[in-house]
Amino acid sequence: MNVTKRLILASQSPRRLALLRQIGLQVEVIPSCVREDFDPTVSPEVNAKSLAHAKAIDVGRNIEEAIIIGADTIVEVDSILLPKPATPSDAVRMLEMLSGRTHTVHTGFALLDRPSNKYVTGTESTRVTFRSIPPAEIEEYVAGGSPMDKAGAYGIQDDYGAVFVSHIDGCFYNVVGFPLSKFYTTLQQFQSQLMKVQGC
């Protein structure tokens, strides 16, 4: 895909950056300062989309011309939202909740055009089932530090994170942190709409 503008990722996630580069996109990184606070009155999908949009707006304020990419991932189990763990003990608690059960990973993304401020948002949801995880494995995984920057306290691409998962239903890349297929088609459509507006 020929992208006509700068692409800026409003996230410091190395996983999202790697995924975007995997599909051939040249992306700059300018992390957003938006706090990842959830609104309990709306669905996880709406929370994820709203946070992704807010992150794109936050970064876009200081950009004259580009397409800003915002994203947010939320893990949900029993209608409880699991963000990034605050402490190692919080990570242990989350992994104990997920052990032997099925949860849902929701990722919201936003594309914001500057200077027009036109935008589009999207979400993807994937169901993930964990095997029963012995406490010693949870403790060892948390002690390695990997869960601390990940929603739900695990990464499916990690060493232990990979073997926690027995199966998934939906987009694998969404669980890593970014729904590549849906994002790619959305970016194509968004860029086409922008070019029509500009008379190209």
Please list the active-site residues.
Answer: 72
Using CA atoms, how far residue 29 sits from 58, 91, 107, 179, in Å, is 13, 27, 19, 18
Using CA atoms, how far residue 176 sits from 3, 34, 138, in Å, is 24, 21, 19
Looking at residue 23, what DSSP letter applies?
T
Structure tokens at 33: 């300062």
For 157, phi and psi rounded to 5 degrees?
A: -85, -5
Closest CA to 189 of 114, 121, 105: 121
**Distance (Å, rounded) from C-alpha 90 to C-alpha 96?**
10
**Parallel, antiparallel, or unpaired: how do β-strands 102-114 and 66-77 relate?**
antiparallel
CB 176 within 8 Å of CB 126: no
Helix (H) or strand (E) holding 93: helix 88-98
